[in-house]
Structure 1
Amino acid sequence: MKIQPMEGIKIFFEAKSPGTKLCIGTLEMDFNYAEIFGSEPPDAYQRLLLDCMQGDQTLFTRIDDVTLAWSLVDDLLKDWQTGGNPPHPYPAGSDSFPQADELIQRDRRCWRNILQM
């Protein structure tokens, strides 16, 4: 995310080139607010205050949304704390970890190793 004074979003991701060979490269998506819309967006506080004065709640999160989101997170945290289903850390750069293999093998599936294609 790019913040003031050059608001926008820049995303880098890896993608496979079309074809049968495994050729992966880095691609970039770059959105610049001023470039696309021809003007700078209003100052953040200016927009916030204007929305408040006009009663526009579009950019504000409703309390029921916040409550629901936290209830999902709280359930996960409670489950982890009681030992029900703890998180399974694994080393960075590893292909998989035993719990992931067990999960997918229940449906008679397996992970595809793209490095050996």
Structure 2
Amino acid sequence: MEGQPDLSADVLEAFRAAVPVGLQAAGELILTESNLDSPTLAGDLDSTGSVVVDGTEMGVGYDSEYARKQHENTWYQHPQGDKPKFLENALTNKADAALDLLSTSIGEALGG
């Protein structure tokens, strides 16, 4: 519209700034949930968990020699109630809440 300021650049900038913030919050939620079920008897798996955000991409994972084996081997016995597929299950169980965190971040940045 004539005479109206073009806010599209401001909106896009706010959106771009909000996405990584929301992704970080979502990733932290998933990692926290994953740590609740990850095997702890053997050592330091939880302390190797991390969230990495790069623009519009986010990754959650563990940097441990045995993380993949513990995650994938469903026949391992976990006497403390820990479970295999701890990261996969966390993502499935917290997907809606993670999306809500991302949506909230974007909505707040856009004044909603």
The structure with more radius of gyration: 1
Q: TM-score, normalised by structure 1?
A: 0.22
Higher normalized strand content (fraction of residues): 1
Higher normalized helix content (fraction of residues): 2
